[in-house]
Amino acid sequence: MKKQLLFCAFVGMMTACQHETDIQPTLPTLAGEVAGTYRTNVYLDPSRVAIPAAQMPYTELKAESDSSVTLVYNTQYLTKTSQSIQHIQLSRQADLIQLRVADSSIGTLQTDRIFTDSGMEKQGKLLRVNIQTDSKTQQSFAGVK
């Protein structure tokens, strides 16, 4: 009986003294928070009312580092095109995330009223991007994740 008791005490001590390898929770990075695919609809951008719903443009934000992303703007209507902007710096403001290239702001991501494809209103993350493609043309996009 003493041998069993000693053995149980020994196993208990070994278990209690074992090195813990708990998984530490990882804090989401700013780039990880905004990364994803953002889609628009005619309720978010009425200028696209003539485009079929299945061919609406969409934007992808891909994480490069903790605070920078690559923006890929895809269009499908008429011709499929893809434009990319790399090294977009992210900075958190009071109630939004600012997207910056060099020293100019190209967009924001914030919690706002959004409209689903069916026109239902709800709260969600709204991405707004305005890019000057050349001296005469400006590209704009509003979409939700």
- Output the pLDDT for position 27: 57
In a domain, 16, yes or no: no
44 occurs within a structural domain: yes
Report pLDDT for 29: 85
* pLDDT tens digit at each of 145 positions of the chain: 677 766 666 666 766 665 555 565 565 789 889 999 999 998 888 888 888 888 899 999 999 988 999 999 998 888 898 989 999 999 998 899 999 998 889 999 999 988 888 888 999 999 999 987 777 778 889 999 8
Q: So what's the pLDDT on residue 35? A: 93
Structural tokens at position 123 = 């709260």
- Closest alpha carbon to 30 in 108, 116, 90: 90
Tally of domains within the chain: 1
| Domain annotation covers residue 140 | yes
Asked whether residue 1 is assigned to any structural domain, the reply reads: no
The secondary structure of 80-102, three-state, reads: CEEEEEEEEEEEECCCEEEEEEC
Domain that holds residue 58: 29-144
In a domain, 132, yes or no: yes
**Are the beta carbons of 81 and 57 closer than 8 angstroms?**
no
> Does 114 fall in a domain?
yes
Q: Does 115 reside within a domain?
A: yes
Report pLDDT for 46. 86
Task: Let me know if residue 6 belongs to a domain.
Answer: no
